[in-house]
Chain A
């Protein structure tokens, strides 16, 4: 008797979740961006449209794998991640479908930041940070990504590991512009210039410059703004003030831009809702929310970045709009190969 009641209890405990309604008013996101600001935006979207947003959070690689293994049984509608290379590579595996072609999307997002399967929702630039005490204006003048391999930076550069996706995308864009062979040489030069073997996240690179461990660092734009905002505490706010931002390749193709993208997953059970959510994320209201909280650059015109970004990093810089972000995905494996071959940890 007891056994039976225990089994009944077990069965009912299982059923309580597996009977999840596959209702109409929802959209399922495989989400690799975990900013509080994003969650707030999804709440606003639900309040506006009545469409419930279901999230499964994780790192992009693991999320992609799960969607692939689930195959046609996947409930995934949208895949949101913070790197264009990811969306491109996922598309190459045949996991996405077209449909992000509404007028609202097309008019909002510049061509090189979207395909019909995935769309950029916010931008970030990967730039150089330097110590104004130890790096002169003359040294930096005309500085490019290519110049990071210049022997004059020997023992003065910090950058994170080669496994990091932002680095993969940056190096992929260099391969697209300069070819694989030249980039392989470049990677060797960069490794020779490192002040220490790569470690830590982007913020740690900026702090290494502030603390005097290195003179220049490569990191994304929003990290400095995040530190300056005081959200990381007073000490890091002070540290951030010791570092200045520099936008490379201004005389040429412009600074390397990356995007956070939303991709429409093949077989999405709630396709219309997914498109509606993407359209919402591209409204001025949502874009302003992004810029003020995650300190990214807006994807659409007419919205300005956070004052913290504008005042400290400057707004008036030339973005690389010629290198298609879709090449980041295509060259990802080659990028990792040249970095690994160069001994980039």
Chain B
């Protein structure tokens, strides 16, 4: 009986999450319209080419920014190094699309840069001399400045756990600092960095808002266009198929790297606490400048651009129903967190008590949702519901289930669930992994029932993990755009959708207020957990 319960709930979760993949794969062999032929020649190669360029550009830049900053803050002491350690995570609060709005608005003809130059030097035709960041280049910058945080965090924790012995080895061999970094530190951190870069790559391929804003044709927008402009769901699913192949490669890379990303040497007792090197003079100035410029460009710049607009066009501030948007966001966040945590707990607990191989496989399957771009998830979900409704529900004469799932909170939360389940599952899993199974056995010996063990021992023990998971989910949902956009009900907006809608109507000034609110709330969440994210320091 017990086995059945865990088995069924894990199966149900996996089945829900597998829906989009199932839909995409079954549509692969369906006939596409004749647009496919026209498109194949003109757009398809462009989609692939642009996606590759974007991917390479972003990976290169996030590697440079993430590893560079992580190296500097982990190994050196300089003015502000303690501040930058956590301040550099803040750029995660600025989603790529908001960065894109800022970048565009600052550098456009007669934009903010022009205003500043005019204020400083008087009238003049500055437009010619202001660089223009639109299209692919702007897109690469927007995504990189927001996502380098993944690489930074993973590289940093890996650096911090690197044995001092390794570093001393370099010194003894007479290596220069650069050579030590290049031949010892970097290779040792490689799995962590690859894991970070794979996450960046997945997010880049999934990015919708910024790509749409700069109207660069990538595979993701290609899917969207095939569905919307060409009315060709089968073609959309076919592009999705290619994109998913791509992503699964990354997904596997990330998983393998993560397994290898052990942060310490096998030898016991060899771990010496690392001493940070104190930088002086010019070197300390360079270290400070690198971090400050990065912090400025990735966080202060978009924040000030949005703040500047909010002050310059205050009427937009009063027009926006901020409280309402806040409540909507809060509502989505709390509901999704509850559902996600509830199921992730069941699944994790099931794995712990029954220890069946099949459950393990099912749960691995169920974390794949995170790899699938939101646009594909939303489209595949609608397709599936419409198909299911048509072929099963209606033939039984039951009322339609479309109303229940399309344009409803239930549908929205279901798709969030598919997308973010891995966050919840892995977060709780890592909490459980630190808790020895002996704890359970002792509890049983003391006469605790299984449920009592779960409620009175597991839950309090997992409290920190749970808090962390809630905040991660909140951050993701606050920034989430395509799923919310496609599936939300009437009169229901979030900060993200309001910003997107204003921006798509060429009303970037009006997009500033919701963007600013989004950044502030997300920053607040990040600060709340910065201790936990950076916890390696405390050990």
Contact = CB atoms under 8 A, between A and B. Distances in A.
Interface of A: 2-3, 6-7, 9-10, 13-14, 17-18, 20, 28, 33-36, 54-59, 61-62, 64-66, 69-73, 75, 161, 163, 199-204, 207-208, 210-213, 223, 231-233, 235-236, 238-239, 336-337, 340-341
Contact of B312 (A2, A20, A233): A233
The 8 closest A-B pairs by CB, nearest first: A61-B228, A211-B127, A207-B109, A54-B490, A211-B109, A235-B110, A73-B402, A239-B110
A10 B408 contact: no
B282 interface: no
Contacts of A340: 38, 42-43
Interface string B102-133: 00000011110011001000000101100000
A235 B382 contact: no
A70 B486 contact: no
Contact of A71 (B43, B402, B501): B402
SS class, residues of chain A in contact with chain B: helix
A236 B134 CA distance: 19
Nearest to B228: A61
Interface stretch (B286-294, B298-306, B502-510, B528-536): B502-510
A54 B491 contact: yes
B170 interface: no
A6 B111 CA distance: 51
Interface in B348-388: 382-383, 385-386
A55 B407 CA distance: 12
Contacts, number: 140
A73 B403 CA distance: 6
Contacts of B342: 3, 6-7, 10
B115 A69 contact: no
A18 B409 contact: yes
Interface of B: 38, 42-43, 108-111, 114-115, 118, 125, 127-128, 134-135, 215, 225, 227-229, 312-313, 319, 331, 334-335, 338-339, 342, 382-383, 385-386, 400, 402-404, 406-410, 413, 455, 485-486, 488-493, 497, 501-502, 504-507, 509-510
Contacts of A59: 504
Contact of A70 (B111, B402, B410): B402
A71 B386 contact: yes
B407 A66 contact: yes
Contacts of A55: 490-491
Interface centre among B313, B493, B501 (most CB of A within 10 A): B501
A199 B134 CA distance: 8
A239 B118 CA distance: 13
A223 B109 CA distance: 15
Contacts of A163: 215, 225, 229
Contact of A211 (B125, B135, B413, B506): B125
B406 A69 contact: yes
SS class, residues of chain B in contact with chain A: helix
A75 B490 contact: yes
Given A17-B409, A18-B404, A73-B403, A66 B108 contact: no
6 contacts: A14-B410, A18-B404, A36-B510, A66-B406, A70-B407, A201-B506
Contacts of A9: 338
Contacts of A231: 313, 509
A197 B222 CA distance: 20
B485 A35 contact: no
A213 B110 CA distance: 13
Contact of B110 (A13, A18, A201, A236): A236
Nearest to A55: B491
A212 B509 contact: no
Contact of B455 (A2, A200, A213, A239): A2
B498 to A, nearest CB: 9
A162 to B, nearest CB: 11
A329 to B, nearest CB: 13
A201 to B, nearest CB: 5
